[in-house]
Amino acid sequence: MQKNFTLLLLCLIGLTASVSKDIASKALFVTPQEGWRLNSSGGIEQTTDAGKSWQISYSSENQVINDIHFLSTTDGWAVGKDALVLRWDGEKWTEVFVFATGALHDVHLSSPEYGWAVGDRGTILHWDGTAWTAFPCPLDEALVKIEHNETGAMRIRSQKGTLIWRERGEWQITPPASE
């Protein structure tokens, strides 16, 4: 039986949620009243009354959203199946074209001009404020999580547990811990 509960995160900036097998949805609030969450069908729901009621904000029979991230009430991003990238402008979700294939699993932006998305077969996309561009990756496996260390530097984790990051322009790779 799948757990069906909402985890409320009351933060003001840089919010991310992703669907997991154990959690049907996570809610992310940009203000105490306005928030978003992923539902178990792979869609996006929005609330404007602190989670008392939820309305479908984005849904598609052919697409599944894997992750959402918000910088503000008028700047949100979602990624999903078939290299889907959506942008929230405060009123509606709009699809953004990217040169990628396969699922995107995680998205994180640190500002309106700087962000990353990762996905299948080593896909890394970089946002520069105007477009998403492919970034070379040393791995050919699913990248599932963008992490930040204590200094704020970005690290990317693969489905197999490999950790990669750039240092002085070169990729650094830490293999998964053996069990």
Residues of the chain with pLDDT under 70: 1-25, 179
Residues 6+ apart with CB under 8 A from 62: 81, 82
Which CATH code, of 1.10.3720.10, 3.40.50.1000, 2.130.10.10, 1.10.150.120, is assigned to 6-174?
Answer: 2.130.10.10
State residue 179's pLDDT score: 53
DSSP letters spanning 48-84: SSTTSS-EEEE--SS--EEEEEEEETTEEEEEEGGGE
Q: 10 Å Cβ neighbour count for 154?
A: 17
